[in-house]
């Protein structure tokens, strides 16, 4: 597997030199400075690629060309934005960057309630606490009908939790959910998020899925024309938030997506942490079933709790079978090699615990510590090395 590293561009405090020292050879990045919906010009892509290559690295994956909420809802200026998206994909392919990760989550992107959950060893993790999220949804955002979306036990915990929260804790929770991790094109305030939630909830799941398929119908032919593989990232977490529709949360969702567009340009980002946040997703089985359409992999682990809460653990210490998952992916690489196809699947150590000196200095982005990801990459590298040593000769 190709070892890659997410880099947030020239302003990232983790330099390309640091990434090379970690042993990664590929970069996963985006033109983060561009507003969502704008055109990616050929010259801008080429300049970012030149910068990466000047450090002896390869721009392996674009993560991501973001999909504007107007495209997801098919409202506002979505036609122009789809034209821009199509042309951006073509420009990326012409520049030689041929794997594009994207997501189709409405309103909010990956969501956590705590960005500094303290573990027993003193390191800090990202956490999604269902009772805290429900407390925010019901008592702070005051979304109409929110109570109906939670189990009675969660409602009790949420009510108690809200009564215990200080004003500062409420503000911090809101920043974590809305302002700290915005989805799509920018931060939200309470009024705007309520409006956006209502807009997508009125669409419903099947209409929202139809909008995803329409988007692919408009973009996949452009990707095919320049050899780009589009690989959708699953919902994170893979269940409804704020009652919003989710269409990339389960194996059934992935089957529907890949069957609707059997083109090799229509593929999957297999994010172990996202899919693995729900116990009914069998990661190893999914890796085997969808292997031929897996073009990018995020490897991270989680510890799940019965009410849907979870926290991000060490890469080899959570509830997901990381060894089994890596073994299934290596098996797919061997299959590709036998057919003469490009066999290496780009993977990156997704997120990492905050530890060591970074506990005081902080990380450039929540989850994207240098030391934590370095540790995760080393652990995954060890798993890959051990499994390859066990491969039968000539396989």
Question: Which of the following is catalytic: 85, 150, 311, 368?
Answer: 368
pTM more than 0.85: yes
Q: Is residue 387 predicted with pLDDT exceeding 60? A: yes
Question: Which of the following is catalytic: 231, 235, 350, 370?
Answer: 350
Would you call 319 a catalytic residue per the annotation?
Answer: no
What pLDDT score does 141 carry?
95
Q: Is residue 179 part of a domain?
A: no
Q: Is residue 136 predicted with pLDDT exceeding 50? A: yes
Find the DSSP H helices in the chain.
Answer: 16-22, 42-54, 69-73, 78-94, 130-135, 152-164, 167-174, 190-226, 251-260, 272-275, 283-289, 322-339, 358-361, 370-389
CATH label of the domain that carries residue 326: 3.20.20.150
What pLDDT score does 184 carry?
46
Q: Is residue 141 part of a domain?
A: no
Q: Is residue 177 part of a domain?
A: no
Q: How confident is the model at residue 395 (pLDDT cuts 50, 70, 90)?
A: low
Whose tokens are 């959570």? That residue is 318
Question: What does the chain come to in residues?
Answer: 395
Q: Is residue 152 part of a domain?
A: no
Cβ-Cβ contacts under 8 Å for 338 (sequence gap 6 or more): none
Conformation bin of residue 63: beta by default, left when phi > 0, alpha when psi is -120 to 50: beta
Domain extent at residue 42: 2-125+203-389
Question: Which of the following is catalytic: 233, 236, 314, 315?
Answer: 233
Would you call 350 a catalytic residue per the annotation?
Answer: yes
State the chain's mean pLDDT as an integer: 94
Conformation bin of residue 112: beta by default, left when phi > 0, alpha when psi is -120 to 50: beta
Each residue of 264-301: pLDDT tens digit? 999 999 999 999 999 999 999 999 999 999 999 999 99
Question: Which of the following is catalytic: 68, 101, 137, 298?
Answer: 298
Q: Is residue 31 part of a domain?
A: yes
Q: Is residue 342 predicted with pLDDT exceeding 80? A: no
Three-state DSSP class for residue 352: coil
How many Å apart are CA 234 and CA 274, to the nearest integer?
A: 6
Q: Is residue 372 part of a domain?
A: yes
Mean pLDDT, range 322-351, rounded to an integer = 94
Q: Is residue 394 predicted with pLDDT exceeding 70? A: no
Each residue of 356-379: pLDDT tens digit? 999 998 766 889 999 999 999 999
> What domain count does the chain have?
1
Q: Is residue 311 predicted with pLDDT exceeding 50? A: yes
Question: Which of the following is catalytic: 70, 188, 253, 271?
Answer: 271
Would you call 271 a catalytic residue per the annotation?
Answer: yes
Peptide bond into 70 cis (omega under 30): no
Q: How confident is the model at residue 103 (pLDDT cuts 50, 70, 90)?
A: very high
Nearest to 21 by CA among 370, 297, 348: 370
Q: Is residue 321 part of a domain?
A: yes
For the ranges 71-85, 225-239, 265-279, 330-344, the lowest mean pLDDT is seen at 330-344
Q: Is residue 109 part of a domain?
A: yes
What pLDDT score does 341 carry?
79
Conformation bin of residue 367: beta by default, left when phi > 0, alpha when psi is -120 to 50: left
What pLDDT score does 288 carry?
98
Nearest to 355 by CA among 379, 334, 375: 375
Cross-sheet strand order for the sheet of 310-313: 114-118, 124-128, 310-313, 301-304
Task: Extract the tokens encoding 12.
Answer: 């990232």
Would you call 351 a catalytic residue per the annotation?
Answer: yes
How many Å apart are CA 383 and CA 375, to the nearest integer?
A: 13
Beta strands 266-271 and 229-233, pairing class: parallel
Cβ-Cβ contacts under 8 Å for 61 (sequence gap 6 or more): 4, 26, 28, 97, 99, 100, 101, 296, 346
């Amino acid at each position: 597997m190709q070892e890659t590293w997410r880099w947030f561009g020239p302003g990232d405090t983790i330099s390309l030199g640091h990434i090379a020292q970690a042993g990664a050879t590929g970069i996963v990045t985006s033109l983060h400075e561009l507003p969502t919906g704008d055109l990616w010009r050929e010259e801008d892509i080429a300049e970012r690629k030149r910068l990466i290559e000047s450090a002896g690295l390869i721009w392996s994956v674009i993560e991501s060309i973001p999909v504007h909420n107007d495209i997801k809802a098919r409202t506002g200026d979505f036609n122009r934005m789809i034209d821009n998206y199509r042309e951006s994909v073509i420009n990326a392919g012409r520049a030689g960057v041929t794997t594009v990760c994207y997501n189709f989550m409405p309103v909010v992107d990956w969501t956590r309630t705590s960005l500094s959950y303290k573990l027993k060893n003193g390191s800090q993790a990202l956490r999604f606490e269902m009772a805290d999220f429900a407390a925010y949804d019901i008592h702070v955002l005051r979304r109409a009908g929110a109570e109906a979306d939670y189990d009675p036990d969660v409602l009790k915990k949420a009510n108690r939790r809200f009564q215990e929260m200080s004003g500062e804790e409420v503000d911090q929770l809101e920043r974590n959910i809305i302002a700290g991790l915005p989805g799509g094109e920018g931060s939200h305030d309470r009024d705007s998020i309520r409006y956006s939630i209502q807009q997508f909830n009125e669409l419903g799941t099947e209409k929202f899925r139809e909008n995803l398929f329409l988007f692919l119908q408009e973009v996949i032919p452009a990707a095919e024309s320049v050899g780009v593989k589009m690989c959708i990232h699953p919902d994170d977490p893979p269940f409804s938030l704020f009652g919003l529709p989710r269409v990339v949360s389960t194996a059934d969702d992935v089957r529907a997506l890949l069957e609707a567009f059997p083109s090799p340009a229509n593929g999957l980002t297999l994010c172990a942490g996202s899919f693995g946040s729900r116990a009914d997703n069998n990661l190893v089985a999914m890796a085997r079933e969808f292997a031929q359409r897996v073009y990018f992999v995020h490897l991270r682990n989680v510890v799940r709790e019965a009410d849907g809460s979870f926290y991000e653990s060490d890469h080899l210490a959570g509830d997901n079978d990381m060894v089994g998952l890596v073994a299934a992916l290596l098996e797919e690489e061997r299959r590709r090699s036998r057919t003469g196809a490009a066999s290496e699947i780009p993977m990156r150590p997704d997120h990492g615990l905050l530890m060591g000196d970074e506990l005081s200095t902080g990380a450039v982005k929540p989850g994207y510590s240098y030391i934590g990801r370095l540790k995760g990459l080393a652990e995954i590298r060890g798993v890959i090395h051990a499994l390859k040593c066990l491969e039968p000769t000539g396989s």
